Structure 1
Amino acid sequence: MVPVQLHEFNSQTRRKSDRYPVVRNGIFMIKSGELTYQDKVGESIILKSGDFLLYSSGDISKIDLSTSSGNFQAESLVIDVSVFQKFISYINTDDHFRSTRESFIFTQENTFIVKLLSLLREQLEGQPSPETIEFMTLAVLSEMVNQHQELLDFIHRISVLTISQQLIRYVEQNIASDLTIDAVAPKLGMSASTLKRKLQSDKLSFANLVKVKRINYAATQLRVTKKTITEIAYETGFKTAAHFSTTFKAVNGSTPKEFREQIQA
């Protein structure tokens, strides 16, 4: 699997509503317009056309888009946590500057990083090899840290997943599998009772988390593909289309058929 995904945004892009969102980390780039948000430490961050930075979606709040300088367009390179973990393993994290800052903005004047990002985007638009994409992403991170060594604190923090985040990530990557707490817990390096206890401390339920994640995935498939409802049911781990339809309605308030008809109307 390619460890970096390219996503595009504009003024009309609807923010995905997800009861159990997995934190996304990567590089956010403004192509036109302006974006203002509040970061983890409460600092107001303003990104203008051409600006980019490393981000973690869990740290962002109070988002505001401005199109006074043109229609808002942006791109996000969502980077798998394994790349950040590998980057940390390659360097000596004891020899860097500690910082209370969370956000470091780069501009088009950072020409070498801009060139690397351009090459990375070109690769992603084709049929890239995961190894090539990982190597290029590590090079981008290296140059960003070379400009702001304090970024190592940020990268180190986002490279460590909580148990709940690990579970959400595993469920998303294995959505069609037979997901039971007894089967999944060993994959996360713990017993079922330990996983259940840790989830309870976060006020989460394993069964409900899996159910909602499956329905969220199914809703996306209903929205963007022409697959049959039965195909989507099996792809999301349901044994029968009837069970899928009942569960889908319990979560979304409509059957899969009704949901698709509403979108197409």
Structure 2
Amino acid sequence: MAPNPNPARITDAMWWLWEQLHALEPRDTELGGIYARKPGYHNTRAGNAANNYSVRDAVDKRGPADKAAALDWTFKSAQRGDYRTIAKYMSRIIASGRDKRDPRLDGWRDIYGQADKDRHVEGWDCRYDRDITSDDSHLWHIHFSESRERVTSRANKDALLSVLKGESLDAWLKRTGAKPKPPAPKGTWCKGAYRPELRRGSAGEHVKFLQAMIGSPVDGDFGPATEARVRWYQKLRGIAVDGIAGRRTWTEINKM
């Protein structure tokens, strides 16, 4: 493989990931791009507007400001309408994301691609654990966006490769010494969606989701700023103001 063509904008770890991806399907795949001067993760943090979604969360405010945080993996067979190979890899991504024990995608933001035979693009929001979709260009390439704080990390990319290669979660946990995700805390159900009661001192992915929904800085820690924002939201919605995201608060959020 060629050396990193743009070390000023592409980390060596990201270029290494491309080499590993290409080695998986050397005859069928090519690099669709890493750095690009356009809004989003393909651009650097410094190259984005301050309100762009790729630079708002706390994990995207860390890491080098001058490096891209996305990669497009293009499948020539999918460009011809044969989705078997791209679907093999993308379906593994979706399965990993939906597995509540599997932490291997936690360092990634979102991943889009074709996971079956139809013409609807599948995707997974790795940060907020939800299905997503995108435009039909992702029928022939898989787009990976990485948390900007992880762009220099090979371990984060190795975790992604473990999923793409079809390694079982248990085998990866044994190989790396990592731990599975803990079970979700007890909480409440809100219109078909599990929402735990969150208060000062809570932390984790549910807190990140809450913060994103109420417009609080997203860092996964329920501190004074998040509590103040919850109180503001409760007052706005006309419910009891206690700074705790419980059943009534989640019910109001679910209306958004």
TM-score grouping bracket, smaller chain normalisation: under 0.3
TM-score of the superposition, structure 2-length normalised? Answer: 0.25
Larger radius of gyration: 1
TM-score of the superposition, structure 1-length normalised? Answer: 0.24
Name the structure with the higher helix share. Answer: 1
